Amino acid sequence: MSTQQQSFFRSLLRRKPIQTSMHQGEVSEMKRPAIVISFVIAGIVSAISAFSYAEMSSMIPIAGSAYTYALSTMGELAGWIVGWDLMLEYLVGGSTVAVGWSGYLVHAFDVFWGVTLNKATTQTPIKYEKDKFSIVKGVYVNIPAMLILVIITSILVFGIRESSIFNNIIVATKLIVILLFIFGGIKYINKANYTPFIPPTKGGDFGGIGILRGAQKVFFAYIGFDSVSTTAQEAKNPKRDLPIGIIASLIVCTALYIATCLVLCGVRKYTELNSDAPIPDSLKVHPGTRWLQILIYIGALAGLTSVLLIGLLAQPRLFMSMANDGMMPQAFARLHPKFKTPAFPTILGGGICIVLSGFLPVDLLGDMTSVGTLLAFGFVNVAVIIARYTMPDQPRSFKVPFGPFVLPVFGTIICFALIVISGVSTIIRLLVWMAIGLIVYFTYSRKRSRIQEYIDASEEYEGHEEEKTNGSSA
């Protein structure tokens, strides 16, 4: 093998020094009964991954999340693959939530005021069902989904403080309403609706395979853990706050997901829950619940808005981190002179989400988001294993329990297994996206990467420190 070839392959494995990452952080300015089991499986895998995220975020508390963890442990190529995957996850995820938000808004107008909004401008014109696309006649664009994204993107451009205040208000509203549904809906539960708890397998749906595919789909609900770690540079004490925030939010969210599903499927038969707003619709058949339906619509809209805010907050910070490493154009790393936010990637990412939400169906978008989340989780678990051996002395305020070869290995296997069963078409779309990413990397990003520059600077600094130590000891 020639020297040039050796240099090429070494460049793919060059790792960003953690000291460089730390310095950048310091100077920065910036629907069925068995669905319960699906959430349990997703919650277990997410818990394992949450431990891994907590350890890595306590080691490398800067923006970039799984991208930075892979870059610092597995090398430049792995970091790029994860970063490219996260782009898909955030952009498609925001579009998915916006389409869901639109569906709840349409139903809310009907329940609140008896107004039926025009389907032509409140639904997506493309339908995706059983791996097949079709055009919905008379439907042109989903304006509410696009509009909410315009509003959220505008809010995020103004700054993290204003965004966090807005988010705290709507998260509090969401939690109150979820608890109202859980405790208010208990008295309407019909135990017969739980039978059979696991419906028999039918055409790849229901049964054991249905539970596993359900677990893959509901991974979309756990995208927030990755989003939390992307805001590390804006946390006051990220080494302490990030692990606590990641693990605590996992416990609370999984408990609420399971409780909501149990009540939902008990209130109404699972076969009757296939709608754009299943939670309030489950109460329609029960008299005297209109007040609760109205509150649920308010909470659902608030909750989906907060998810949009977090997702669109994380996406530009990923772009910014990759741009700081030279992997993307420097325009993505510039902060707004007044608001000190990454305004350009915020507007660009929001714009892409706006277009996707206006025309693509929620099922397609949700599948792609879940697969992207699983891939990121898998890489973070691998990063923990590698970091334990390549960076054993790096300070950690949290460690994954039972060592690196128990939970991280198990989490990695399950993440990739759920990707495999996600469906051929979903996997093909993921591979196509990754192929595009590799083309971008080898034609643009690799040539402009600053990782070797960071490595050289780190080695030079360590050399100076060693000279100082030797000089003082002499």
- Cis peptide leading into residue 33 (ω within 30°): no
Nearest to 59 by CA among 47, 72, 46, 48: 72
Residue 79 has pLDDT above 90, yes or no: yes
Residue written as token pair 């989903």: 142
Percent of the chain with pLDDT over 70: 83
pTM of the model: 0.84
Dihedral pair phi/psi, residue 289, rounded to 5°: -110, 10
User: What is the model's pLDDT at position 310?
Assistant: 79
* DSSP per position, 81-102: HHHHHHHHHHHHHHHHHHHHHH
Alpha helices in 207-342 (DSSP H): 207-218, 224-230, 238-267, 278-281, 290-324
Out of 18-22, 36-40, 84-88, 175-179, least confident range: 18-22
**pLDDT tens, position by position, 158-200:** 876 655 676 677 778 888 888 999 999 999 999 999 888 887 7
Residue written as token pair 């309030």: 280
Out of 223-227, 295-299, 362-366, 377-381, least confident range: 223-227
**Residue pair 274/31 in contact by the 8 Å Cβ criterion:** yes
**388-426: buried (b, 16+ CB within 10 Å) or exposed (e) per residue?**
beebeeeebbbbbeeebeebbbebbebbeebbeebbeeb
Number of domains in the chain: 1
Instruction: Using pLDDT thresholds of 50, 70 and 90, give the confidence band for residue 211.
Output: confident
Residue 227 has pLDDT above 70, yes or no: no
* Amino acid symbol at 66: A
How many Å apart are CA 269 and CA 107, to the nearest integer? 20
Q: Which CATH number does the domain housing residue 337 bear?
A: 1.20.1740.10
Average pLDDT of the segment spanning 127-135: 83
Out of 149-153, 220-224, 231-235, least confident range: 231-235
**pLDDT tens, position by position, 55-70:** 888 887 766 678 889 9
Nearest to 20 by CA among 72, 95, 57: 72
Two structure tokens written together for 46: 């997410």
**Residue pair 260/179 in contact by the 8 Å Cβ criterion:** no
Cβ neighbour number for residue 62 with a 10 Å cutoff: 25
User: What is the model's pLDDT at position 141?
Assistant: 96
Instruction: Using pLDDT thresholds of 50, 70 and 90, give the confidence band for residue 20.
Output: low
How many Å apart are CA 157 and CA 87, to the nearest integer? 19
| N-term to C-term CA, the chain | 44
Q: Angle, nearest 10°, between helix axes 343-359 and 76-113?
A: 60
Residue 97 has pLDDT above 70, yes or no: yes
| Averaged pLDDT score across all residues of the chain | 83
Task: For residue 447, give its domain range.
Answer: 3-473
How many Å apart are CA 155 and CA 296, to the nearest integer? 24
Handedness of CA 331, 224, 65, 234 (dihedral sign): positive
**pLDDT tens, position by position, 366-425:** 888 888 888 988 999 999 999 999 888 888 888 999 888 899 999 999 889 888 888 788
Query: Is the model more confident about 11 or about 99?
Result: 99
